[in-house]
Structure formats: structure tokens, C-alpha cells
Chains A and B, each alone.
Chain A
Amino acid sequence: MPRPVPRTDVLLNLFGAPHQTDLVTSALRLAAALLRRGARVQIWTCGDATRLTGAALGDTKPRDYTDLGREHPSTARVVRELIEDHPDRLYWYVCRFCAEERGAAEQIPQVRTRAPFVFAEHVNAAGKSLLMGVC
């Protein structure tokens, strides 16, 4: 039986291409700021944004050849740590159709994949909804 969608104050819909602009940075900054204020937040990713939490990304980005000694976290790790820091207040959902279409069906365990036709349930469960970018 499907679990009900938890009530949240804000739903951030991450629809835009994640690496074309600063969209992901802005979404994470806004989510973190909302969480610092005690808000409950859910994030729904569609399109290429579903790859942000793909398990294949691992924990770190490939080494920067101009700075070999420094390790940079992958987006999957950044999201995982954000969820682990706010286990009852941050929920990250991934559109299953978009993820499968992009070969990213295998996701980190901290996020949940959802069928696209339940998206309205997530909007209903949020006090406010922001659409960020276009698929």
C-alpha cells in the first residue's frame, strides 16, 4: 500500500536542466534556508534533474586535475547528507519515468522514486509550491 505524502510547508519542483544554469545551487540554498527556519520541505525532480541523485554518481566528483588533492562531493552525496541532517523535515522525490528514461533508475536509498501521475498528491500535500525551470 502506498505511503501517504507527508505534509510539508514548501514543495520545490526541480524541473529545469540542472547544469545549464545555477538552478541546482539556488534550489539547495533555498531548501537549506527553509530547513534552518524549521520548515518542512519536499523536492520533486523531473527531467535531467533526476540524475542528481543517481547511485552511479558515487560520493565524489572526478578529480580536478588542477587541484588533485581536493575532493569535491557529488550532488548525490550533497543531497544524501542534507536528507540525513533533516530526516523528518526533508523529502526528496524522483520522477520514475524521467529517471528510467535517462538510465538513472538506480537512485541513492535516501530518495524515493514516484510515478509521474501522483505528482498532484505532492502539490496537495504542500502549503506552497515553486516550479523551478522547465523540463
Chain B
Amino acid sequence: MTAHLLIESGGPQTGPACERFLGDAARLARDGHQVVLFLVENGVTAAVPGTAPGIETFLRHGGELWVDTFSAAQRALPAADLTPRARLVEMDDVAAKLLEPRVRAVWH
């Protein structure tokens, strides 16, 4: 199975495109692929419970949720405000994941 790094930068306030992207992530995870969904910029707001239903579906199917520490801090979002299954990461973690040979990446 392929490993995917999906990067959401817009967040739920940008309209249905975000939810569709989260849906793609959930479907890939459901089909057995290893999927990391990285939320960055305004995308981090999707990790606030109740803002993006697709996140819960994604996590239920076994996806891994990463949230950019810098973007969350800039938006005054402490870890306590995020879904407990989110992992706060640095850009170095994202670079390491991106450089893994079998990882495919999409920026949205």
C-alpha cells in the first residue's frame, strides 16, 4: 500500500473543497493506505472538534492527524482546543515524512 502525506492549508471556512479533501483522505485510509493528514495555516482549524466532520471519519478509518505547531500558535489554538488524537508537529517532521521514498504528497 502507498503512503500518503495530504496537506490541508485552507480549513473548513474555505468551503466544501476542504471537506472533500478530508473525504479523499478518509477513503484512502479506509482502503488500507497509510495516510498522514497534515493541517497547516488556516487548515489547523479543522482540528477543532465539531468544525470538520471529515476529520472524525478520517481518524475512525485509521488515519494519522498532524497539526502544525506554528500555525496553531499563530491562531491562538492551544493543544487543549484540538481533537485529542491530533499530534502537534514541526515542519521538520513534515520534511522527514515528505522525503520518505514511498510517500506521495498533495498540498491543498
- Identify the A interface with B (CB < 8 A): 9-10, 21-23, 26, 29-30, 32-34, 36-37, 39, 128, 130-132
CA distance A130 to B106 in the complex (A): 6
The reply to whether B92 and A33 form a contact with Cβ atoms under 8 Å apart is yes
Count contacts on B: residues with CB < 8 A to the other chain. Answer: 21
Residue of A at shortest CB range from B101?
A127
The reply to whether B91 and A29 form a contact with Cβ atoms under 8 Å apart is yes
Residue of B at shortest CB range from A37?
B95
Please indicate the chain A residues that have their CB under 8 angstroms from the CB of B98 in the complex. Answer: 10, 30, 34, 128, 130
5 A-B contacts (beta carbon < 8 Å): A26-B41, A29-B91, A33-B92, A37-B96, A128-B98
Please indicate the chain A residues that have their CB under 8 angstroms from the CB of B92 in the complex. Answer: 33, 36-37
The reply to whether A37 and B99 form a contact with Cβ atoms under 8 Å apart is yes
Secondary structure of the B contact surface, majority rule = helix
CA distance A29 to B38 in the complex (A): 14
The reply to whether B9 and A21 form a contact with Cβ atoms under 8 Å apart is yes
Q: Tell yes or no: B70 within 8 A of A by CB.
A: yes
Please indicate the chain B residues that have their CB under 8 angstroms from the CB of A36 in the complex. Answer: 92, 95
Asked, given contacts A22-B71, A33-B94, whether A132 binds B107 with beta carbons under 8 Å apart, the answer is yes
Please indicate the chain B residues that have their CB under 8 angstroms from the CB of A22 in the complex. Answer: 9, 40-42, 71, 74
Residue of B at shortest CB range from A27?
B107
Contact of A33 among B40, B74, B95 (CB under 8 A): B95
The reply to whether A128 and B105 form a contact with Cβ atoms under 8 Å apart is yes
Asked, given contacts A10-B98, A23-B9, whether A33 binds B91 with beta carbons under 8 Å apart, the answer is yes
